[in-house]
Amino acid sequence: MAFAYPKYLNLTLNQVMTDLSTKDLPIPIKQEIIESVRNEKQRLRSIKAQRNQHTRLWAELRQPLEYEMRLVRRMCAYENGETLRNDALSGYLLVLGKLHDRMHKLSQDGTLMPSEVAKDKKYPNNGVHWSDWVKREVKDAVLELFDAIPKQGQKVKVPFERKIPKALHAQLKSRLRQRTEKELVNEQRKQSVDYTEGRASTIKKIEQALAWIDASAEGEALPTTWHGFFK
């Protein structure tokens, strides 16, 4: 159903009130218009915030995958003619490409967050890292290809490593810590005036999560919220 007062959506509430003050309308009608505009603005802000979060979370999930794809492509470009190595890299890149296409489609198709998809599909580790989205049998098939490569003292690529680029890890770690600290302060403030055993347990979990965040290694995949440490 279309909003009844679309012309007011681009105005501030003060501007709406000023405009209505010039209208010959009963006060209850004016109040109803103001309240409707206020509610619609709040609804639109909520939709925009959810859409922005949806876009950000899918992008952050795909970014390490895209980094891995670029790395493997470069390795393919420097291929020295070793068939087994080429087969392994090509097979790995094919799996990465299919996963990337699937994630892109999911991000475009609706409003489901990555964590919601991961929960529905029962992915390990709550689907925090892109490698959690790959079936075990697919991983095993790719790993067999890499195991077949003659080592000859050379370092061989390890597929499906649960790592993320250093810069992204630093960014996500900082954001996660700030949000977790803020939630801890809020819970402690509530606890100071309304103590409950349940909240005390929550505070201990948040404090433990902060310790785990600080101890996380460079490049380690992290959950999007502290709750992810306990799932």
- Residue 81: what pLDDT? 64
Classified as helix, coil or strand, 128 is: coil
Question: C-alpha distances in angstroms, 167 versus 15, 119, 201?
Answer: 44, 27, 33
- Tokens coding 61: 């999930």
Q: Show Cβ contacts of residue 51 under 8 Å, excluding neighbours closer than 6 positions.
A: 111
- Residue 155: what pLDDT? 77
Give pTM, 2 decimals: 0.76
- Residue 80: what pLDDT? 65
Phi-psi region of 126 (alpha: psi -120 to 50; beta: other; left: phi over 0): left
pLDDT tens track, the chain, 231 positions: 677 778 888 888 899 889 888 888 888 888 998 998 899 889 998 988 888 889 989 998 999 999 999 999 998 887 666 788 889 999 999 999 999 999 999 999 878 999 999 999 999 998 999 999 999 999 999 999 999 888 776 777 899 999 888 888 898 899 899 999 999 999 999 999 989 999 999 999 999 999 999 999 888 888 888 988 887
Quote the CA–CA distance of 26 and 13 in Å, as a whole number: 18
CA 201 to chain centre: 26
